[in-house]
Structure 1
């Protein structure tokens, strides 16, 4: 091949290579732009996840706050309501039904039998809860008009020792699951103590008395680091 022809062929090869390099560079720019877009999307999603978690915590706190004046009594069997016929002057002397074995009265009678002070005038509502599963224990929820009356009742819980009846804060399912997990860790001696107070779950870590920490647990995931 003549030198001129070789030169022309070489120039074509170089021009083709230059075009391919330019194409690769454009493709590289496109890829980098997509990578940046993906990174931004991931960052946005992470930020959204954080906001969603904050909102979920607020909703959970609000749900728990609606139970702040509640006490749940577990293990106390409540008989179905029965009614007595009576004649009252208000209805013209016609028979009326009077509730003689209300849930509230049964709870009050049991508490009195255990020397536990309970003023029914401070109770806003008293409702039995359905059993959970075939082995579920009966439960009753007391809602007080004021938190101090709830606290006063819970402080007398030690008088129920040996009765298989328990009084606790009325926790949401989320907080009840946290408390259950914390108690499991305590039984396994992975933490020192676990308890609830004012509808919050507390744990005390293992260690020497001067170094042990008491933590408030808001999410069950926070307990994972101690489940080792």
Structure 2
């Protein structure tokens, strides 16, 4: 039987302790490096995906803007007349071109005070928009052959101020929503549209 002195036993314990500590430290370092590499790789993937998402979001916004512009451009010859009562003919038929022509010619004037001359032939199409309530006066959408005629009519819309009839541009839903938000915003004293573009002043 061998006798191990206390000092020798302490030295062995120290060696074992150092070996265990080194093994643990090496294992921790190795594990940390492994996970750091994984985290770095994952971070790179996330950053690339974020860049892709950012690019796609920008692309979607650009496409939405272009689509809205094209849709508004397609409506450049249109106007909407709200509150105009129509006279029905035989069989309850309505000649909306004639009705709009009569209304404009008898109600609106140019800057010189001369009545605006509008014939049914100046109108490409005129028809009411569907209404949830059949008793409501429908909005009439009008498409003009010439933008010059259309612009004369829209320029005279202020003459209807205080009346129950209004004339507005045929805006896209996005532009219409923006216009309404600006008109309700306390920061702006006035907001309007012209040629499909929205304007506001403080």
TM over 0.5: yes
Choose the corresponding residue for 1:20, options 25, 28, 35: 28
Partner of 2:4: none
Considering only aligned residues, what root-mean-square deviation do their CA atoms show, in Å? 2.4
Is 1:109 aligned to residue 106 of structure 2?
A: no
Counterpart Cα distance in 2 of 1:134 and 1:112: 27
Normalising by structure 2, what TM-score? 0.81
Counterpart Cα distance in 2 of 1:172 and 1:199: 9
Is residue 98–residue 119 contact of structure 2 (8 Å, CA) maintained in 1? no
Counterpart Cα distance in 1 of 2:163 and 2:181: 24
Q: Secondary structure of 2:131's match?
A: coil
Q: Which has the higher helix share?
A: 2
Q: Secondary structure of 1:39's match?
A: helix
Bigger CA radius of gyration: 2
Q: What's the CA shift string for 1:93-138, capped at 9, x where partnerless?
A: xxxxxx6x41111222222332442122221101111235689652
Which residues in structure 2 correspond to 1:77-92 (within 5 Å)?
Answer: 77-80=85-88, 82-83=90-91
Aligned pair in 2 of structure 1 residues 6, 155: CA closer, same or farther (>3 Å)? closer
Aligned pair in 2 of structure 1 residues 166, 26: CA closer, same or farther (>3 Å)? same
Choose the corresponding residue for 2:63, options 52, 55, 61: 55
Q: Secondary structure of 1:56's match?
A: helix
Q: Which has the higher contact order (CA 8 A, sep 6+)?
A: 2
Which residues in structure 2 correspond to 1:36-47 (within 5 Å)?
Answer: 36-47=44-55
Partner of 2:179: 179
Is residue 75–residue 166 contact of structure 1 (8 Å, CA) maintained in 2? yes
Is residue 104–residue 153 contact of structure 2 (8 Å, CA) maintained in 1? no
Moved more, 167-176 or 108-117: 108-117
Partner of 1:193: 190
Is residue 82–residue 165 contact of structure 2 (8 Å, CA) maintained in 1? yes
Normalising by structure 1, what TM-score? 0.73
Deviation at 1:195, TM superposition (A): 1.2
Q: What's the CA shift string for 1:44-99, capped at 9, x where partnerless?
A: 11111011000011111111111110011111123456349xxxxxxxxxxxxxx6
Counterpart Cα distance in 2 of 1:29 and 1:192: 58
Structure 2: 5+ residue stretches without partners? 1-8, 108-114
